[in-house]
Amino acid sequence: MRVIITGDSHTGTLKNGKNLILQKKIWPPEIELKIKALGNGKHLNTPFFINCGDYAQITEKLYQDRIKRLPIASEPDAIYGLCAPFHSNRIWRSLDWTKFVPVALAKTEIPVSDAMLKQIILSDQQYVLELIDIFIQAQKKIFIIETPRPFTHNKAFEDIRPEVILAVDKAYRDLIRTELVERSVDIVSIPAHCIAEDGSMSSDYKNKRKNDMNHGNELFGEIMLQEIFAFLKKD
C-alpha cells in the first residue's frame, strides 16, 4: 500500500512522528508512506493552483518547489492523506476576535451570526475543498488528517477570550467535517485522549520549540500516524 501525505506545516509533525516510529522499529511493513509538504498553510486560503479537471497544477511559487501538481503524476495509484482542511488557526488567531464574537458568546462585543461564521470558514477553505473535489473527480483515494486543536499557551489566548477561540475552532471543525462527510471523504481524527476537556489540545503534545504554539510534538506526530495506520488497515 503506497501512501502520500501532503499539506500544510503539520506534515512536519507527522514527519517527526515517522522518524520516531522508525527509530522504535515499529513501522508496519505493509505500508509504504511518503510525507511531502506543500508548505506553509498561510497560502492555502489563496488560489494556489489551477483546476485542470483531474489534477491541480500548483501555481503558488512557495509550494511549486516541493510539488508541481496534485495528484502527483508519477504516483497514479497512491492513496493521499491531506493535512489542510482543519487549519482553523488562520481564523481564530485574528485580534478582531477581541471586538467580534460568535453570537452565542456576545456580551458587549459585536455579534457574529452563525451564517457569517459559516461563510468565513467556507471562504477560508474554498480552495482546499476544491482541491479535494479534484481528487474525487479524478477518482483518487484521499483521506483527511485532522491537525491540532488550539494550544492554550498560544499567545492569542492572552488577548482573545479563550471560549471565543475554542468556539470558533469548534465551529470550523464541525463545518469542515460536515463538508467532508457530504463528499464521502474519510477523516483521521485526533484521538480523544489528546484533547483537553475544554476542547483545546492537551499540553502533553506541545511542540518542543518554545516559540511554536501551533504544532504538535513528535509524540503527537507518532500518535496521528498510528491513527492513520489503523485507518489504512481498516480501509
Partner 1 sequence: MSLKANNHPYKSQPSQAFWRNTIQNTYALDINNWYSKKFPLSDKRIATAGSCFAQHIGRELREQGFNYLDFEPAPEFLNQKIWSDFGYGMYSARYGNVYTSRQLLQLLQRALGEFTPVESVWKQADGYVDPFRPTIEPEPYPTIEEVELSRQHHLKSVVEMFESTDIFVFTLGLTEAWLSIQDGAVYPLCPGTAGGEFDNSKYKFVNLSFPQICADMRDFMTRARLINPKMRFLFTVSPVPLMATATKQQVMVANTYSKSVLRAVAGHLADTLPYVDYFPSFEIISTHVTRGQFYNPDLRTVSQHGVKHVMAQFFKEHQPPKQTKLPVKTTTPDDDDVVCDEELLAAFGDE
By the criterion CB under 8 A, which residues form the site for partner 1?
8-13, 15-16, 36-37, 39-42, 66, 89, 91, 93-94, 96-97, 99-100, 103, 106, 110-116, 119-120, 123-124, 154-155, 207, 209, 211-215
Closer to partner 1 by CB, 52 or 104: give it: 104
d(CA 225, CA 48): 27
The closest alpha carbon to 63, from 87, 29, 38, 100, belongs to 38
Measured in whole angstroms, the distance separating CA 120 from the mean position of its chain's CA atoms is 17
Burial of 189 (0-12, 13-18, 19+ CB in 10 A): middle
Closer to partner 1 by CB, 98 or 137: give it: 98
d(CA 58, CA 189): 27
Q: How far is the CB of 215 from partner 1 (least distance, A)?
A: 5
Closer to partner 1 by CB, 49 or 97: give it: 97
Burial of 199 (0-12, 13-18, 19+ CB in 10 A): middle
Q: How far is the CB of 227 from partner 1 (least distance, A)?
A: 18
Strand order in the sheet with 69-70: 49-51, 56-58, 69-70
Closer to partner 1 by CB, 61 or 233: give it: 61
Give the chain's length: 235
Q: How far is the CB of 234 from partner 1 (least distance, A)?
A: 27
Measured in whole angstroms, the distance separating CA 77 from the mean position of its chain's CA atoms is 23
Closer to partner 1 by CB, 70 or 185: give it: 70
Q: How far is the CB of 175 from partner 1 (least distance, A)?
A: 14
Q: How far is the CB of 50 from partner 1 (least distance, A)?
A: 19
Q: How far is the CB of 77 from partner 1 (least distance, A)?
A: 22
Helix 10-24 / helix 218-234 crossing angle, nearest 10 deg:
80
Closer to partner 1 by CB, 114 or 130: give it: 114
Closer to partner 1 by CB, 5 or 194: give it: 5
- With H, G, I as helix, E, B as strand and everything else as coil, classify residue 171: helix
Q: How far is the CB of 19 from partner 1 (least distance, A)?
A: 8
Q: Residue 27 — φ and ψ, nearest 5°?
A: -70, 130
